Every structure is written in C-alpha cells, then in structure tokens.
C-alpha cells in the first residue's frame, strides 16, 4: 500500500471492513463545499428533487474510479462557474489497520489526477484496489438489457479483483488486437498475421479462463436465496466470443478472409457476452422492469461478495434513487439485506423513511437541501 498510515487495531467483528471514514470536496455540480463523516454501515441521503442527492453519490463514485455512473463526459461534474473540482477521501481498512488518503483533482480541460497519501501520483488500478466501489442507479437494469459492452465491463471488473494479472493480460490482448486490426486494413502479410494471432490466442485464452472462473463464482452465488430477489433459479450463460468447439488461434485463422473484408477482428474475448436466464429463458425477453432491476442488483451485489472473497475487502455500495420501480416490500427486503451485509452503503431517496429509524446507531441520515449537505 502506498505509504498508508496506521489507524486502528482490527477487532474480530470488523476484520474485513473497508470503509469511507471521511469525505470532503468542492466544485461538484450544485453541491456547496462538503465534509461528511459517514456511518460505517448505512447512510441515507434524502432531499427534494434536484437538491443534489445524486451529485453526492457521483462525487463518492468519482473519488474511487475517476468516472461518473451517469455521464461519460466527466468534465460536466465540475460546477458551472468553477474550473476545478477536488474530492478527498479517507479510506480505512480494518483488515490491515491502515488508512489511506485519496485525493482526486480535475480541471476542466485536463485529465484526472489521483494522489494517495498526499505525495504519490497513483494509477486508477491502485485506487480501485484501495477503494472498491459499486454504484446501483435507475439505469442499472441495462446490465441485462443493454449493450454487451456493459456486461464485458462488469465481467472485467470482477476479473480485475479475482486475478491480479488480469490487467496485464488485458493490455497485452488489446495491444495485439489493435495490431491485427491495423494489419487487416493494410497490406496483409500471412506470416505477420500468424505472429499477432499467436499473441492474441495466448492472452485471449487467459482472459477467457479468468472470466470462466468469475462466471462460475457468480452462478454459485446466484443459487443462494435473496429475499429482495426471489429467483434462485437465475443462471448466467457465458459466451466467450468465439466458437466453443475450436481454439482461438484456429478461429482467428478461419476468419481471416471475412475480417480483411470487414476491416476488424471478429472472434475473441473482446466480443464475449453473458445472458441471464431463468429456467433456460433469457430474462431480458420477459422480465418486468422491477424484476430486471432486482436481478441486476443481485448480480452487482454478488459481484461485490466475490470481490470480498478474493480481496478480503468490503466495498462501498452506492444506491441512487432506491425507490424507483420498487414497491415497499422489495425495498424493505433490499434495505434489510444491505443492512445485514458488511458493505458500507449510501442510499438516496426523496423520502427519509427508507430505513427503520428506531435505532439511530444503525445508520446516519444526511439531508441535502439546495446543494447543502446537513447531517440530521
């Protein structure tokens, strides 16, 4: 860990806890400068429409990923009238007894700059290992119904945590893929293609192996019952991106002619996908919107559980607009399950009654009013 500072001694009940201890920031959307000390388990962020609730979750997500869950144009997160945003987080890990200070700064026309413990310029992979984070939002059902790109990102995120070599293999594969595509569009030489395809075959087969392990872990956990998603027979069907009956090298060789015509490489793990099925039927074709939402949430929470098993770290889970599309029964089951889980959760809601408030020690409430965040 990058110069982490000791913080507290782990006790047996908190042994794997990773959590956001403190959050400060400025220049984020409509939010005034903020400073929060969240609850280790559950944090409810409530307020009227357009108050800034999603913006607060976005700030937390941005601080751990350098990305937004609602836009690819991250410069839009910077407040109108400001040129810079910064967010500082203090992340504690009870498993190691250390804490890390992460700062992200973003100027309007430059890239994100991450620092860990005020001195080291850090990569996004390093930050992701210190601060695993997941966001669930009203578009989350697209994990099932949307483009395969979304599902590949989901697969890759799981693989990143379960296998430390995955990023390296992924980079190797993509480098070779670019080379092959460029070659297909130029003056193709069979012996050069053969050399590139050898590299694609080796790295692509490794990617596929890690993904298969991740899918097996997902399917294993899908069979465990979850009150908020009562479909224990959900299963993922993995499609690796090329024919299941041949090796990748053979598939690449066989597709040369078609690929030269198309100008890009068709077989390979860059075309992988997964299909969520219930008793053999693709749920995308018949699930209702709320069923899709609950099934997607299940997949994301299971992903976090697998990350925890692999890394011994809990994750920070952000849930935006909890109530949308869920009735009170599904919502209560979900909140109860989140409460029992070890992940530190942040939920946004228009109402402040998404959690049983009889025991305030179980959670903290934050009221967002015209961009000002007040602990209540």
Which residues bind to ligand ATP, rule: CB under 6 A?
29-30, 47, 49-55, 76, 78-80, 321, 350
Residue 110 Cα distances to 11, 75, 84, 204, 284, angstroms: 42, 9, 10, 33, 39
Q: Does 54 bind Mg ion (CB under 5 A)?
A: yes
Minimum distance of ligand ATP from residue 155's CB (angstroms): 29
Largest CA distance in the chain: 72
Alpha-carbon gap, residue 185 to 264, rounded angstroms:
8
* Least distance between ligand ATP and beta carbon 26 (Å): 12
Least distance in angstroms from the C-beta of 50 to ligand ATP? 4
In the structure encoding, which two tokens stand for residue 67, read together? 């990305």
- Binding-site partner at residue 156 among Mg ion, ligand ATP, none, CB < 5 to 8 Å by type: none
Closest CB to Mg ion among residues 56, 294:
56
What is the number of the residue whose Cβ is closest to Mg ion? 54
The minimum distance between CB 370 and ligand ATP, in angstroms, equals: 9
Using DSSP bridges, classify how beta strands 133-136 and 316-319 pair: parallel, antiparallel or unpaired.
parallel
**Given the complex with Mg ion, which of 54 and 63 has the nearer CB atom?**
54
Shortest reach from residue 52's CB to ligand ATP, in Å = 4
CB of 51 to Mg ion, least distance (A): 8
Q: What residue 363 binds from ligand ATP, Mg ion, none (CB within 5 to 8 A, per partner kind)?
A: none
Q: How far is the CB of 47 from ligand ATP (least distance, A)?
A: 6
Which phi and psi (to 5°) does residue 137 adopt? -145, 175
Using the Cα atoms of residue 360, residue 301, residue 217 and residue 313 in order, give the sign of their dihedral. negative
Instruction: For the CB of residue 33, give the shortest distance to ligand ATP in the complex, in Å.
Output: 14
Choose the contact partner of 14 out of Mg ion, ligand ATP, none; CB within 5 to 8 A by kind: none
Query: What does residue 346 show for φ and ψ, rounded to 5 degrees?
Result: -125, 120
Q: Kindly tell me which of 45 and 91 has the beta carbon lying closer to Mg ion.
A: 45
Are 137 and 131 within 8 A, CB to CB?
Answer: no
Which one of ligand ATP, Mg ion, none is in contact with 49 (Cβ closer than 5 to 8 A by kind)?
A: ligand ATP
Q: Name, in order, each residue with C-beta under 8 angstroms of 368's C-beta and a sequence gap of 6 or more.
A: 45, 46, 47, 51, 52, 53, 56, 374
For residue 202 the two structure tokens come to 């080796």
59 binds, among ligand ATP, Mg ion, none (CB under 5 to 8 A by kind): none
Nearest to ligand ATP of 31, 248 (CB atom): 31
CA-derived radius of gyration, the chain? 22
CB-nearer residue toward ligand ATP: 77 or 99: 77
Q: Could you give phi then psi for residue 94, rounded to 5 degrees?
A: -70, -20
Beta bridge partners of 366: 45, 375
Q: What distance lies between CA 336 and its chain's CA centroid?
A: 22
Structure tokens at 89: 């987080």
Residue 30 interacts with which of ligand ATP, Mg ion, none, CB < 5 to 8 Å by class: ligand ATP
Report the residue number, 32 or 250, with the smaller CB distance to Mg ion: 32
H-run or E-run covering 98? strand 98-107
47 binds, among ligand ATP, Mg ion, none (CB under 5 to 8 A by kind): ligand ATP
**Applying CB under 5 A, which residues contact Mg ion?**
54
């Amino acid at each position: 860990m990058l110069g982490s500072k000791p913080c507290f001694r782990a006790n047996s009940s908190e042994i794997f806890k990773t959590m956001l201890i403190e959050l400060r920031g400025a220049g984020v959307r409509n939010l005034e400068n903020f400073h929060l000390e969240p609850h280790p388990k559950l944090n409810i962020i409530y307020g009227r429409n357009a108050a800034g609730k999603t913006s607060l979750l976005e700030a937390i997500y941005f601080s751990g990923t350098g990305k937004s869950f609602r836009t690819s144009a991250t410069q839009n997160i910077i407040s109108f009238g400001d040129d810079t945003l910064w967010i500082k987080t203090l992340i504690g890990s009870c498993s190691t007894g250390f804490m890390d200070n992460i700062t992200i700064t973003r100027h309007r026309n430059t890239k994100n700059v991450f620092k860990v413990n005020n001195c080291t310029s850090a990569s996004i992979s390093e930050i992701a290992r210190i601060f695993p984070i997941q966001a669930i939002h009203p578009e989350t059902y697209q994990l099932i119904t949307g483009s395969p790109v979304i599902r590949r990102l989901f697969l890759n995120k799981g693989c990143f945590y379960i296998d430390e070599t995955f990023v390296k293999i992924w980079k190797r594969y993509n480098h070779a893929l670019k080379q092959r595509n460029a070659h297909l569009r130029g003056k193709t030489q069979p012996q050069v293609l053969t050399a590139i395809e050898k590299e694609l075959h080796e790295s692509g087969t490794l990617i596929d192996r890690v993904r298969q392990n991740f899918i097996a872990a997902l399917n294993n956990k899908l069979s465990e019952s979850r009150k908020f998603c009562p479909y224990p027979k959900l299963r993922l069907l993995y499609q690796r991106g090329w024919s299941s009956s041949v090796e990748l090298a053979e598939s690449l060789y066989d597709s040369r002619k078609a690929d030269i015509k198309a100008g890009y490489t068709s077989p390979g793990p860059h075309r992988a996908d997964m299909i969520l099925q219930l008793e053999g039927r693709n749920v995308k074709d018949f699930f209702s919107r709320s069923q899709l939402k609950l099934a997607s949430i299940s997949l994301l929470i299971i992903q976090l559980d697998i990350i925890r098993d692999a890394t011994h770290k809990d994750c920070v889970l952000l849930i935006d607009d909890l109530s949308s599309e869920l009735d009170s029964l599904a919502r209560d089951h979900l909140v109860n399950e989140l409460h029992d889980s070890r992940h530190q959760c942040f939920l946004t809601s228009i109402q402040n009654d998404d959690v049983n408030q009889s025991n305030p020690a179980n959670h903290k409430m934050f009221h967002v009013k015209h961009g000002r965040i007040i602990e209540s």
